[in-house]
């Protein structure tokens, strides 16, 4: 038991209260996107899309799938699908007007900004000009759509929900939290704290339990 050691945890999304005996949260944020959580396929994914937005969803995803499969990877493809679905579920949806191609380019551009797509040290790497050329849109159009997407979904720099699963470990917003007024890395906290944070979706995994841990 942790006793009264932890009185509260506040991460970058809001305050989480802990009981004196451990790990009771006052959860005021949405969970981060866990690795693999966006990779729904077939009917399961399509059923989550409002019927009226399904043709738009399929048009945009067809474009993002093509570019991601040819030029990026399956992680970008899956997150692009998830972001398109999230935008389709907004009421009203920003995707209800405008060309699918411009939204597709904007979606991947937003994901690229979060995941350092233009940085050669974070493969895959793709310049903004090349990304826009792949979607046959101008860079100004990509910037405009990106702003609309970020505002609609409340996306911030380094947003854990839209971080590639392979980069989650390197994203400081996934692991940093405020405990008793001190900023800490949840990877260094007691396992009981990590288990509670994992159960609430605050962290993508318990570090000691990673399958690839050597």
CATH code, residues 42-162: 1.10.472.10
Q: Please give the pLDDT value at position 6.
A: 42
Q: Please give the pLDDT value at position 162.
A: 95
Q: Please give the pLDDT value at position 174.
A: 81
Distances (CA, A) of 184 to 12, 112, 115: 12, 28, 23
Q: Please give the pLDDT value at position 141.
A: 98
Residue pair 107/61 in contact (Cβ under 8 Å)? The answer is no
What is the residue-wise DSSP string for 121-132?
Answer: TSSS---HHHHH
Q: Please give the pLDDT value at position 33.
A: 42
Please give the Cα distance from 76 to 62 (Å, whole number): 13
Q: Please give the pLDDT value at position 38.
A: 46
Per-residue pLDDT of the chain (214 residues; tens, 9 = 90+): 343 334 334 444 444 444 434 443 333 334 444 433 444 445 556 668 999 999 999 999 999 999 999 999 999 999 999 999 999 999 999 999 999 999 999 999 999 999 999 999 989 999 999 999 999 999 999 999 999 999 999 999 889 899 998 988 888 778 887 767 778 888 888 898 888 888 887 788 888 887 665 4
Task: Name the token pair of 159.
Answer: 């947003």
Distances (CA, A) of 37 to 63, 152, 169, 194: 21, 21, 16, 19
Q: Please give the pLDDT value at position 43.
A: 54
∠ Cα 176 166 142 (to 5°): 90
Q: Please give the pLDDT value at position 83.
A: 98
Q: Please give the pLDDT value at position 178.
A: 72
Please give the Cα distance from 108 to 20 (Å, whole number): 44
Q: Please give the pLDDT value at position 186.
A: 87
Please state the three-class secondary structure of 103-122 as a single string: HHHHHHHHHHHHCCCCCCCC
Q: Indicate where the chain has its CATH 1.10.472.10 domain(s).
A: 42-162
Residue pair 138/132 in contact (Cβ under 8 Å)? The answer is yes
Q: Please give the pLDDT value at position 211.
A: 61
């Amino acid at each position: 038991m942790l006793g009264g050691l932890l009185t509260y945890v506040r991460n970058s999304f809001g305050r989480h209260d802990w009981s004196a005996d451990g790990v009771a949260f006052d959860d005021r944020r949405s969970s981060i996107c866990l690795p693999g959580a966006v990779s729904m396929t077939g009917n399961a994914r399509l059923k989550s899309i409002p019927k009226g937005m399904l043709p738009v969803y399929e048009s945009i995803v067809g474009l993002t799938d093509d570019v991601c499969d040819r030029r990026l990877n399956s992680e970008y493809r899956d997150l692009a699908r998830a972001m398109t679905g999230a935008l389709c579920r907004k009421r009203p949806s920003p995707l209800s007007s405008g060309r699918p191609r411009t939204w597709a380019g904007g979606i991947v551009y937003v994901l690229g900004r979060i995941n350092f797509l233009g940085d050669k040290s974070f493969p895959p790497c793709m310049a903004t000009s090349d990304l826009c050329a792949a979607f046959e849109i101008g860079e100004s159009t990509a910037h405009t759509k990106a702003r609309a997407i970020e505002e609609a979904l409340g996306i911030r720099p380094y947003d854990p929900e839209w971080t590639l699963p392979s980069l989650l470990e390197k994203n400081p917003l996934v692991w940093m939290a405020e405990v008793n007024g001190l900023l800490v890395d949840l990877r260094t906290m007691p396992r009981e704290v990590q288990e509670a944070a994992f159960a609430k979706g605050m962290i993508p995994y318990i570090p000691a339990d990673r399958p690839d841990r050597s």
